[in-house]
Structure 1
């Protein structure tokens, strides 16, 4: 089946997560992604667990495999002049370049947007960094937790009587990777209409800041500084986790008067919607502590499974809190192919995350392995640039590849 990005060639200079996550999504959608890694060591995430033992006794990183599925892998010494010539030739044949080095590194190596644009005016060049290419903090090092902290995300994550908390996944990397993929595809769409390439500048800080959503306008328009409120919604109630008879917690997410009336009828408390403390969503939010006590008193007679059955039968938005293991067994996750099997070289069949974008005519295909270090170097040099076996051997001897 035809893929949405079929025919698009991507040169991938990225490492670890934000950049690789971006290019993995492009590969899922049919782009030919050529990942360039350092000879000998490769992407920094190759040393991150979990590890799977290969047939030859070496170990492969599950972290790396997840973020680099579906790519071709080559090795090049970016500081070598001959490698630079190879890269320039590849740029001529490419549509997209993605990198997530610290700002300034690509320029020092001779791989700036301006240089690549001279070689290929139609190139779409995406840079992902902590604070962006144009920022007072451009030169500061940053990882996910730095972006989460400085963006304000950690200040609203966790419970008020505990220290600020990092969101449980690498939101800074994943959000930046998503915005990068989005920006690249918009730039390609623009190029399709005009013939113009352009630069895409993505910052982790910006990406997480945008994910704070309505908390920003609560400050800029509402004049408050949002704080940590635990698992509950800061504006709606009941919209929280509630303890059941068996000690498990059920999620109840009610943000409308209609759903609240149904919930109150189920609890045998039809009087609550008439109470000024609970008649509107904002009043329920202001009196959330009292309302939570009422709901948990009702749930003290119900196990988690019983509560979910009752609420689902009455169309109350609810759910359990799954562990990762249980989430991986969920019927919807399995039915929608959010777990897929790949045949990883030297490691065999492995299960990784699928792609959540479901397209009717050009569906993504994440069921492809990640490259071994330098696995496709010879193939790319031969097929893309016409190198002979003897020339490739010389490149290896000269530590170019």
Structure 2
């Protein structure tokens, strides 16, 4: 993967610390982003996650091109920590039997196939829940599992475009812009994880599991947030505003004499503090053109020009020190390299390296969830394709060597495994 970034070994986990999801068995049929992001979080907090992949290449993200180490892509490694991986060709009857045996023992199943795939294999909720009524079965899709759009395949940027979410991103004089990272996929994965945990809590009260669904389109609509709500209330279509929501001149990117930064003075109190304590321009409060939020918005281009001219007169670190002293919300505009090497990342132990079976080690970005009593497990790198097939069949399902050999001969684990 080229020159490896210098990373520390991950701090050791307290040996006697419990895990939040100890004993929970999750069967993971997901691939790409939203589903794997969901199941990775469950694995991070102690669930046993068994990832089932097609032996013909496995999860699509294994071949993504961002960067790779030992044949594993950055995308796959970033989304499949703390899972055991097995390879099953579900077109083979014996492989479907293995999947059903795993589901029968599971607490949770997560899948994000196209609408009819799990049903075709007899692995949909209606088919498997009678044998396991306490099962939580989570389906992730682009447009839901019911209704006229259930058949449609979809991906993060498509739902960003169709839901209106993308129309809010970019600058007023430019086209709509998708987010860089697949934010709808990631948010859908988070919502799926929440849905599973809610269903597990409900199971404790009701004594049975249920089918839960999360759709990318629904998530994208929800993520329009108060801009979507404002449209419903006013009928006015919200537009793009770049780095300055509602055109606020004291929110956005500015340039010091030697570099950019971002400020967020969105209310009168912060604005007054900025122009009087930091910029030393009390006239920007007393001038009727800028005295109120409404007037500042009406004269935003003039005010932005004035503020920009002042910021350009001094160096970045001097302005940052002044804004810190005045308690003004401001931050450096960093690249990924700068952000990952900043004190906020390093001092909070956000980055480390963890062992990998063929590469020696791979980078690790910690989950953003911190729990004092039940911290994350010691992270294990994403599995090689089919790495734990025999281990799961023997240990989890109790298959003997004769049955495993017969499945292998039948092609259940793929042609390469025969």
Question: How far off is 1:199 after superposition?
Answer: 1.0
Q: Which residue number corresponds to residue 293 of structure 1? A: 305
Deviations, residues 267-323 of structure 1 (Å, cap 9, x unaligned): 222132234443333443343222211110111112222221221121110011110
Q: Which residue number corresponds to residue 55 of structure 2? A: 39
SS in 1 for 2:167: helix
Deviations, residues 215-235 of structure 1 (Å, cap 9, x unaligned): 011101132111111111226
Judge conservation of contact 2:53–2:87 (CA < 8 Å) in 1.
Answer: yes
Corresponding residue to 1:141 among 153, 162, 166: 153
Judge conservation of contact 1:237–1:281 (CA < 8 Å) in 2.
Answer: no
Of 312-321 and 83-92, deviating more is 83-92
1:339 aligns with 2:351: yes
| Structure 2: gaps spanning 5 or more residues | 1-16, 414-418
Q: Distance in 1 between matches of 2:41 and 2:272?
A: 43
Corresponding residue to 1:255 among 266, 283, 296: 266
- Over 3 Å counting, the alpha-carbon distance change for 1:346 and 1:332 in structure 2 is same
Q: Which residue number corresponds to residue 101 of structure 2? A: 89
Q: Which residue number corresponds to residue 375 of structure 1? A: 387
Question: How far off is 1:366 after superposition?
Answer: 6.3
How many residues are paired up?
Answer: 396
Question: How far off is 1:4 after superposition?
Answer: 0.8
Q: Distance in 1 between matches of 2:294 and 2:141?
A: 39
TM-score by length of 1: 0.95
Judge conservation of contact 2:34–2:189 (CA < 8 Å) in 1.
Answer: yes
Judge conservation of contact 2:249–2:301 (CA < 8 Å) in 1.
Answer: no
| Structure 1: gaps spanning 5 or more residues | none
Question: How far off is 1:51 after superposition?
Answer: 4.3
Q: Which residue number corresponds to residue 239 of structure 1? A: 251
Q: Distance in 2 between matches of 1:175 and 1:270?
A: 43
Considering Cα pairs closer than 8 Å and 6+ residues apart, tell me whether 1 or 2 has the greater RCO: 2
- Over 3 Å counting, the alpha-carbon distance change for 1:107 and 1:235 in structure 2 is farther
Deviations, residues 79-123 of structure 1 (Å, cap 9, x unaligned): 221122222211121000000111121111211111121120111
Q: Over the residues paired in the alignment, what is the CA RMSD in angstroms?
A: 1.6
- Over 3 Å counting, the alpha-carbon distance change for 1:366 and 1:255 in structure 2 is farther
Q: Distance in 2 between matches of 1:90 and 1:168?
A: 37
Corresponding residue to 2:191 among 179, 186, 191: 179
SS in 1 for 2:234: coil
Judge conservation of contact 1:69–1:369 (CA < 8 Å) in 2.
Answer: yes
1:168 aligns with 2:180: yes
Deviations, residues 115-137 of structure 1 (Å, cap 9, x unaligned): 12112011101111111112432
Q: Distance in 2 between matches of 1:282 and 1:23?
A: 47
1:229 aligns with 2:241: yes
